[in-house]
Amino acid sequence: MNTLAKAINRDFITAYQSLDDALRHLGYREGVATYLSVMDACTPGEKRSHPAFSDEIVTLRSLRFLYHRLQRTADVNEPLASEDDVDYLRHFLLRLESETDPINALKSRRSEETENNPDAVRARPIESTAIEISSRPTFFKEGTKKRLLKAATLLALSLAVILKIKRGFIR
């Protein structure tokens, strides 16, 4: 592998670790992973209120995956990271420091809404979500077990109906 590719991969790892450390310093217990969990926990309305919210989630997830891939592979034979990836991480860190990242943008929008309408009913505060998610003992998202139970029930009912239909046609 050429030295330019190694340098880009090294710069990517450094930029990712800087972002991860900054997030940990801000109270996101597991860094980028917790930040992504907080983004996932936002309501659909909150996600729609930020113009590129879903793009941010997808990009951060793919960069997190790339970081872990680079960490697992001791000697990478091809350049995995690009200069754009490094620039994105550095830009995201700057946005985090200037409080213009997606979560801080939602926090400021929420505080503006409550200032304009003090009687507004607020959903769970975003600040506490990081603690709730990181201390949750299960790896399932909230509501996943309920959805799995519903799916299993529907599957069982469907099988029962299919068996009754088959028996009716056979006899």
The model's pLDDT over 100-154, given as tens digits with 9 standing for 90+, comes to 888 888 888 777 766 666 555 455 455 444 444 444 444 455 667 677 777 778 7
Per-chain mean pLDDT for the chain: 79
Looking at the predicted structure, is the pLDDT value of residue 22 above 50? yes
Instruction: Identify residue 12 by its one-letter amino acid code.
Output: F
Instruction: Identify residue 82 by its one-letter amino acid code.
Output: S
Read off the tokens for 41: 């926990």
Instruction: Identify residue 33 by its one-letter amino acid code.
Output: A
Report the alpha-carbon distance of residue 100 to residue 52 in Å, rounded: 12
CA-to-CA dists, residue 42 to 53, 56, 58, 65, 112, angstroms: 10, 13, 15, 22, 17
DSSP-assigned letters across all residues of 119-154 = TPPP-S-HHHHHHHHHT-SSSSPTTHHHHHHHHHHH
pLDDT-wise least confident of 40-44, 85-89, 94-98, 141-145: 141-145
Q: Say what the pLDDT of residue 129 is.
A: 47
Q: Say what the pLDDT of residue 24 is.
A: 93
Report the alpha-carbon distance of residue 160 to residue 84 in Å, rounded: 54
DSSP 28: -
